[in-house]
Structure 1
Amino acid sequence: MVRDPGVDAIEAVNPAGTGFLGGLGLPVVIGWMVGGLLAAGAAWIIGKTALGLRSDYLAIATLGISEIIIAIMKNEEWLTRGVKNVTGLPRPMPDAIDLQNDPGFVERAANLGFDPTAASTLYIKIGYGLMFAAVLIILLVLAQLALNSPWGRMMRAIRDNETSARAMGKDVTFRHLQVFILGSAICGIAGAMMTTLDGQLIPTSYQPLRYTFLIWVMVIVGGSGNNLGAVLGGFLIWFLWVQVEVLGPGFMTWVTGALPDDSGLKEHLLDSVQHMRLLTMGVILLLVLRFSPRGLLPER
Structure 2
Amino acid sequence: DYLAIATLGISEIIIAIIKYEEWLSRGVKNVTGIPRPVPYEVDLIESEWFISLANFFGAAEISDAASLFVKLCYAVLFVIVLAIIMWFAERALKSPWGRMMRAIRDNRDAAAAMGKDVKRRHLQTFVLGCAVCGIAGAMLTTLDGQLTPTSYIPLRYTFLIWVMVILGGSGNNWGSILGGFIIWFLWVEAEPFGNWFMSTITAPLGEGSELAQHLVAGAAYMRYLMMGAILLIVMRFAPKGLIPEATNRSTAMTRSS
| One of 52, 57, 67 as aligned partner of 1:107 | 52
Whether the 8 Å CA contact 2:38–2:74 is kept in 1: the answer is yes
Q: Partners of 1:66 and 1:168 in 2: how far apart?
A: 31
Q: Partners of 2:57 and 2:98 in 1: how far apart?
A: 49
Q: Partners of 1:126 and 1:91 in 2: how far apart?
A: 14
Which position in structure 2 is the counterpart of 1:178?
Answer: 124
Q: In the TM superposition, what is the alpha-carbon distance from 1:192 to its structure 2 partner?
A: 1.2
Q: In the TM superposition, what is the alpha-carbon distance from 1:189 to its structure 2 partner?
A: 1.0
- Matched to 1:64, the amino acid is G
- The number of residues matched between the two structures is 245
Q: In the TM superposition, what is the alpha-carbon distance from 1:83 to its structure 2 partner?
A: 4.1
Please, which runs of 5 or more residues in structure 1 have no aligned partner?
Answer: 1-54
Q: In the TM superposition, what is the alpha-carbon distance from 1:259 to its structure 2 partner?
A: 2.4
Which position in structure 2 is the counterpart of 1:256?
Answer: 202
Which position in structure 2 is the counterpart of 1:158?
Answer: 104
Which position in structure 2 is the counterpart of 1:137?
Answer: 83
Q: In the TM superposition, what is the alpha-carbon distance from 1:73 to its structure 2 partner?
A: 4.2
Judge which range, 237-246 or 263-272, deviates more.
263-272
Which position in structure 1 is the counterpart of 2:159?
Answer: 213
Task: Output the aligned Cα RMSD.
Answer: 1.7
Q: In the TM superposition, what is the alpha-carbon distance from 1:75 to its structure 2 partner?
A: 3.4
Q: In the TM superposition, what is the alpha-carbon distance from 1:245 to its structure 2 partner?
A: 2.0
Q: Partners of 1:157 and 1:193 in 2: how far apart?
A: 33
Q: In the TM superposition, what is the alpha-carbon distance from 1:72 to its structure 2 partner?
A: 4.0
Which position in structure 1 is the counterpart of 2:7?
Answer: 62
Which position in structure 1 is the counterpart of 2:180?
Answer: 234
1:243 counterpart SS class: helix
* Cα deviation digits, residues 155-179 of structure 1 (max 9, x gap): 1111111111111111111111111
Matches within 5 A, 1:278-289: 278-289=224-235
Please, which runs of 5 or more residues in structure 2 have no aligned partner?
Answer: 247-257
Whether the 8 Å CA contact 1:106–1:116 is kept in 2: the answer is yes
Q: In the TM superposition, what is the alpha-carbon distance from 1:292 to its structure 2 partner?
A: 0.9
Change (3 A) 1:269 1:297: same
* Cα deviation digits, residues 37-66 of structure 1 (max 9, x gap): xxxxxxxxxxxxxxxxxx41x333332333
- Matched to 1:281, the amino acid is M
After TM superposition, the score normalised by the length of structure 2 is 0.89
Matches within 5 A, 1:37-56: 55-56=1-2
Which position in structure 2 is the counterpart of 1:97?
Answer: 42
Bigger relative contact order, structure 1 or 2 (CA pairs below 8 A, ≥6 apart): 1
* Identity value in percent: 61
Which position in structure 2 is the counterpart of 1:71?
Answer: 16
Which position in structure 2 is the counterpart of 1:271?
Answer: 217
- Matched to 1:92, the amino acid is P
Judge which range, 129-138 or 102-111, deviates more.
102-111
Q: In the TM superposition, what is the alpha-carbon distance from 1:131 to its structure 2 partner?
A: 0.2
2:204 counterpart SS class: coil
1:90 counterpart SS class: coil
Judge which range, 146-155 or 249-258, deviates more.
249-258
- Matched to 1:251, the amino acid is F
2:203 counterpart SS class: coil
Change (3 A) 1:120 1:260: closer
- 1:116 partnered with 2:31: no
- 1:88 partnered with 2:33: yes
Q: Partners of 2:153 and 2:175 in 1: how far apart?
A: 24
Change (3 A) 1:84 1:150: closer
Whether the 8 Å CA contact 1:70–1:206 is kept in 2: the answer is no
Change (3 A) 1:108 1:261: closer
Which position in structure 1 is the counterpart of 2:249?
Answer: none
Change (3 A) 1:286 1:123: same
Q: In the TM superposition, what is the alpha-carbon distance from 1:77 to its structure 2 partner?
A: 4.3
After TM superposition, the score normalised by the length of structure 1 is 0.77
Change (3 A) 1:152 1:257: same
Change (3 A) 1:167 1:73: closer
